[in-house]
Amino acid sequence: MNWDIVEGNWEQWKGKAREQWGKLTDDDMDIVEGKREQLVGKIQENYGKTRDEAEKEVDDWLSK
């Protein structure tokens, strides 16, 4: 799946993202607004991961 689908339907996808990354708040999800770079940044910030680790998590999440 590509990110354009997620971005276009963010309201539906953000619940799934919250299930995957429970530390992300509703405010975080509002900031992300479907933007991949913002999501990666929030994962880094909240989980103390490197950019590469966060990118891989997002890629793995998309492939499910």
Q: What is the pLDDT of residue 2?
A: 84
Looking up tokens 């509703």, which residue turns up? 26
Domain span at residue 28 reads 3-63
Indicate the burial class of 32 (C-beta count within 10 angstroms; 0-12, 13-18, 19 or more). Answer: buried
We report the CATH number of the domain holding residue 45 as 1.10.1470.10
HSE-CB of 4 using CA atoms within 13 angstroms: 0
Whole-model pTM: value is 0.90
Q: What is the pLDDT of residue 48?
A: 98
CA nearest neighbour of 37 among 5, 1, 7: 7
Count of domains for the chain: 1
DSSP-based three-state secondary structure for 22: coil
What is the spatial distance between Cα 21 and Cα 24, in angstroms, rounded to a whole number?
A: 6
Each residue's pLDDT expressed in tens, for the chain with a length of 64 residues: 789 999 999 999 999 999 999 999 999 999 999 999 999 999 999 999 999 999 999 999 999 8
